[in-house]
Amino acid sequence: MMRKSHTYCDFGQDVKSHLRTTTARAQSCIISDMTKRYGKSAGELQRWYLREWRKHRGMTQEQLAEAIDSTKQTVSRMESGLTPYNQPFLEACAEALSCEPYQLLAYSPQNSATIDDVVSILRSSDDSTVLKIKKFIEMLES
């Protein structure tokens, strides 16, 4: 006699819909746990600069969604921090916005050229110059 295998969804339920719901619940639990653990809001934990980069490139949410084969609602939820980003989404956005994935996470486009220039200078400098620059920055901060 064959046993019926246990399934989590009814035959009438769309499997993709079930997976999206399950994934959303899991992400919600993770975010909730992290907000309690670190004392920050969901938006603070997931801060990234998607909206700033999109506007910097003169794109609407609809245009970005079309470029990355997504929906305006998804882009809106990602920008507002209601839905956490994932690596494929991050990479697709970076490609559509002509930037690197780390830039979407690290800083706004207004600061990107300056930060990239400073990093380039530091990378090409010898150790003693880097230490001098570090001391100079520390002096400015005090």
What pLDDT sits at residue 42?
57
Same domain, yes or no: 51 and 102: yes
What pLDDT sits at residue 89?
94
* Contact predicate 92/82, CB 8 Å: no
Among 21-25, 57-61, 127-131, name the most confident range. 57-61
In a domain, 62, yes or no: yes
* Tokens 């670190």, located at residue: 38
Total number of residues shown for the chain: 142
Range of the domain at 134: 110-142
Same domain, yes or no: 51 and 41: no
Most distant CA pair in the chain: distance in Å? 79
Same domain, yes or no: 55 and 98: yes
Same domain, yes or no: 79 and 97: yes
In a domain, 8, yes or no: no
Same domain, yes or no: 71 and 99: yes
Instruction: State the average pLDDT over residues 38-46.
Output: 59
In a domain, 102, yes or no: yes
Among 24-38, 41-55, 68-82, name the most confident range. 68-82
Same domain, yes or no: 70 and 85: yes
Same domain, yes or no: 40 and 63: no
The CATH number given to whatever domain includes residue 97 is 1.10.260.40
* H helices, E strands: number in the chain: 9, 0
Same domain, yes or no: 82 and 101: yes
Of the pLDDT bands very low, low, confident and very high (cuts 50, 70, 90), residue 9 is: very low
In a domain, 5, yes or no: no
Same domain, yes or no: 58 and 99: yes
pLDDT of 87-130, one tens digit each? 999 999 999 999 999 889 888 888 777 877 888 888 899 999 98
Looking at the structure of the chain, the number of domains it has is 3
pTM of the model: 0.56
* Distance linking the first and last C-alpha atoms of the chain: 78
Same domain, yes or no: 119 and 73: no
